[in-house]
Amino acid sequence: MTDAYLDGNALAGPLAPILAVDPTTAWRHCPDCGVRGPLAGLRVYGPEPGLTARCPGCEAIALRITTEGPFTWLSLGGPDGAFRFRTG
Amino acid sequence: MAAPAARGSTPYQRWARATLLARTPETGTARTLVLRAPGWPGHLPGQHIDIRLTAEDGYRAARSYSLAAPGRGEHLEVGVQPVDDGEVSPYLAEDLPVGADVEVRGPLGGWFVWRPERATAPLLLLAGGSGVVPLMAMLRGHRTSGARVPARLVYSVRDPAQLWYGSELAAFAPPVSVRLLHTRAAPPGDPRPPGRIASTDLPDADGPFAPGVPDVFVCGPTGFVEYAADLLLLAGHPAERIRTERFG
């Protein structure tokens, strides 16, 4: 399963408790390679210990989301700056 | 078909209980599960749900499953293809007792969605294996909505035993058409030799499909989706009219 991945469609559920709108139609412009496309088109690796969504053009990390008990950790972009939401 | 409630107001944006009403075989291993979800807000063809199981020790695992049919009140139909060594799918496919509860979240996804009542373009669906499930919801939505746009399903399976929805697919009539592709073993009399999807399997190559640029949905294993999407682009389908959904 090393090269198996889902895509950004699978992020709709994990992001649902955090976002007020469906995230899969959100567009992203990759700051690294310039690819533009919907969140649904991201390559998503997981599901454990969490989901890592990467750019389909250059594999840069677009976001990571992990559920830990009543908390959901969300980080956008690179390794810095995770947001923690209470979702449970 | 009920329209989905606005996000944020659906009772299923967080986890809620649903009860297994029935389980029916689609292939030797694949199953359709019918769930009853009280207060379900409705959904659109192509959307999915997440199903979460909690073990006795509190361990939880959640996975996404495509909805196989348009909404029917509180009834949800999902397709489950058990994954080797999977934590969730083998249990759902074989062991979850009818009458038992699971937790569900949804309806989910606004990208890989087809809205029959708004459809003006032809609909082209490319399925690999169990990727047929959300595309079947679109064909069923086409039927129940009385949509008039031409629709074509090109459905790639390993061999005839891996075919989901066989008799129902055979019963579709124009403007809906179905083309089956076999990658390893074809049924007797099939003029197409077994093999992966090729440009000659796309509608424009086997006769006129429909005037106009179709909306295209592709679903299946990652390798199938990438390959099929490349074929579509080479055949001149505009990228912005192709929507894909992959599973590992």
Prediction ipTM score:
0.84
CA–CA distance, B210 with B123 (Å, rounded to integer): 9
3-class SS shares of chain A: helix, strand, coil, % to 5: 10, 40, 50
Which tokens hold the place of B8?
């944020």
Q: What is the 3-state secondary structure (H, E, C) of B171-238?
A: CCCCCEEEEEEECCCCCCCCCCCCCCCCHHHCHHHCCCCCCCCCEEEEEEEHHHHHHHHHHHHHCCCC
Mean pLDDT for each 10-residue chunk of chain B (248 residues)?
44 85 97 96 95 92 94 94 91 96 95 95 97 98 95 97 98 95 96 96 74 94 96 94 90
% residues pLDDT > 70 (chain B): 93
How far B121 CA sits from the closest chain A CA (Å)?
20
Q: Is 0.95 topped by the overall pTM?
A: no
CB B196 within 8 A of CB B164: no
B245 touches chain A (CB under 8 A): yes
Q: Measured between alpha carbons, how far is residue B196 from residues A53, B44, B129, B148 in Å?
A: 28, 30, 12, 30
pLDDT in tens, B103-136: 999 999 999 999 999 999 999 999 999 999 999 9
The strand pairing partners of A67, in sequence order, are: A72
Residue A88 has pLDDT above 70, yes or no: no
Total Cβ atoms within 10 A of residue A53: 25
CB contact under 8 A, A39 and B48: no
Distance of CA B64 to the CA centre of its chain: 12
> Which member of B7, B62, B245 has the closest CB to residue A9?
B245
Which tokens hold the place of B129?
């294996």
> Which member of B49, B63, B109 has the closest CB to residue A24?
B109
pLDDT in tens, A3-22: 567 899 999 999 998 888 88
CA–CA distance, B96 with B236 (Å, rounded to integer): 45
Tell me which DSSP letter residue B28 carries.
Answer: S
CB contact under 8 A, A20 and B7: yes
Instruction: Specify the amino acid at residue B18.
Output: A
Instruction: Specify the amino acid at residue B228.
Output: A
For residue B13, the chain A residues in CB contact (below 8 A) are 16-17
B50 touches chain A (CB under 8 A): yes
How far B67 CA sits from the closest chain A CA (Å)?
13
The strand pairing partners of B48, in sequence order, are: B66, B108
